[in-house]
Amino acid sequence: MTERQTNRTVEETADVVILGAGPAGLTLGNLLHAAGIDCVVLERADRAHVQTRARAGFLAANTVRVLDRHGLAAGLHRRGQPHGTCEFRTENGSFRLDYGALGRRELHTVYPQQDLVDDLLTHYLEAGGRIAFGTEAQSVRDAAGPNPTVDVRNAEGRPGRWRARYVAGCDGRHGAARRSLPAGTLRHQRDHGVSWLGLIAEAPPSLDAVGYAMHPDGFAGHMARTADLTRYYLQCERGTPADAWSEDRIWAALDRRMGAADHGPLHHGRIVQRSVIDLESDVIEPLRHGSLLLAGDAASLPAPAAAKGANLAVLEAELLAEALIDELSHGDSRALDRYSERCLQHIWRAQEFAHWMIQLLHSPLLNPTAGPAEESFFHESMRRSRVESLRTSRTHQDWFAENYVGI
Ligand code: RFL
């Protein structure tokens, strides 16, 4: 690394500049640093924010394998919980799928994303990895050539610049990497027309399974996080402000939709986090633009109905690390040339399954963008038939399990 002062801007260098300290950026940083590659992570937020941002919780078996391979899974083995059951609740009764005993017989590990990020960050720093918090990438320049630069601004607004051989855009959907893509880059996108109120409740899980309720009022979801915290989702009207529902209204809706009268009461508790999530998906294609490579949500946003985003982020980070190590340590660029194509295969698989889940869980009769009433009834009948097939067909259940945990 070198540092030099130009007129007003400090310019620093690293072989790989990684934008973003989420699961993608920190997995990549750990793998590159362990291989002796000169890299730095630039993160817009401060450390406390990064370590406490609650998002994902269901880690796929492959994610655990990747983290295990690189000695990054100690925390999740210590505190994560194996999980292999989901329960569907409908107007016509409920059924459970022990997906851990179906398909490839793989389990999820329930481990809050903020704990995973904390583990990755701690490991990276203890190994001597470099990270700059409070440093927001503004744009990536000259990515078509071999010496891209990243213009940054620190928390006080002071500008700076990093010069690199490669820039890894792991800064999410609204980051600088996406903003810096050349004109003509494809962004395939879909708005599923459905919104969720996403909640974290200070209450123990109420079921020993992921709960999916398909109720005439709309979808409700239950997902364990820890012994004291549970994530809930409530389908809500598009445009609903996150604070529009009182806690009483939230619990009344969750009780009704989850069928507390028939299945037993939910453990109520304080709502400690809430946000409104419009279910949208997109895919950038290709994921490489010269010296700029995208991974994680920056590469593709899968709607969070199938718990794929953090899992894709870790998988792509490993593929990208291997490709960059081949190129920078051995001068072999073949894996880097194939990086985009390899990731896109996994991304489209995850997108297809997330789309399937969204159609399974939401009645088009409640979705104003679903089309004319006649069409909605047709789609609603197909949706019910899909639920019935999932309830009764072992082949369908095996397919579900393979895709639900698979990545
Ligand atoms: P992240 O985690 O968003 O991290 C990006 C980081 O980049 C920083 N950043 C910048 N830094 C510098 N300069 C800039 N210009 C920057 N712009 C942004 C940000 O501060 C941040 O620290 O992206 P990454 O690493 O790609 O990881 C993606 C995952 O976070 C995401 O896909 C998952 O959370 C999706 N997701 C789930 N995925 C799963 O695999 N399993 C789940 O159970 C699951 N549940 C969820 C989810 C996403 C949810 N939300 C937020 C919609 C549940 C929810 C509610």
Q: Where are the domains of the chain?
A: 3-57+112-185+286-355, 191-280
Q: Distance from the CA of 207 to the center of ligand 1, in angstroms?
A: 26
Catalytic residues: 83, 212, 304, 308, 404
Q: Distance from the CA of 371 to the center of ligand 1, in angstroms?
A: 31
Q: What is the pLDDT of residue 376?
A: 84
Distance CA 160, CA 17 (A): 13
Q: Which residues line ligand 1 (CB under 6 A)?
A: 19-25, 42-45, 50, 55-58, 113, 136-137, 170-172, 175-176, 198, 277, 296-297, 304, 307-311, 313
Q: Average pLDDT for residues 86-115, to the nearest whole number? A: 95
Ligand 1 closest atom vs CA 173: 3
Distance CA 215, CA 361 (A): 9
Q: Average pLDDT for residues 354-364, to the nearest whole number? A: 94
Check pLDDT > 70 for residue 6: no
Q: Which of 19, 41, 113 to mutate to test the pocket of ligand 1 (most atoms within 8 A of CB)?
A: 113
| pTM to 2 decimal places | 0.94
Each residue's pLDDT tens digit, 33-66: 999 999 999 999 999 999 999 888 899 999 999 9
Q: What is the pLDDT of residue 7?
A: 53
Q: Average pLDDT for residues 258-271, to the nearest whole number? A: 95
Q: Which of 27, 44, 47, 55 to mutate to test the pocket of ligand 1 (most atoms within 8 A of CB)?
A: 55
Distance CA 371, CA 91 (A): 24
β-strand partners of 150: 140, 162
CB atoms within 10 A of CB 291: 22
* Banded pLDDT at 5 (limits 50, 70, 90): low
Which residue from 199, 213, 293, 201 is spatially nearest to 243, judged by alpha carbons?
199
Ligand 1 closest atom vs CA 175: 17
Q: What is the pLDDT of residue 1?
A: 47
Burial 146-171 (b: 16+ CB within 10 A, else e): eebbbbbebeeeeebbbbbbbbbbbb
Q: Distance from the CA of 310 to the center of ligand 1, in angstroms?
A: 7
Ligand 1 closest atom vs CA 60: 40
Q: Which architecture does CATH list for 191-280?
A: 2-Layer Sandwich (3.30)
Ligand 1 closest atom vs CA 24: 25
List the residue whose alpha carbon is closest to atom 6 of ligand 1. 20
For tokens 């999530």, the residue is 277
Identical topology for domains 3-57+112-185+286-355 and 191-280: no
Check pLDDT > 50 for residue 398: yes
Q: Which fold has domain 3-57+112-185+286-355?
A: FAD/NAD(P)-binding domain (3.50.50)
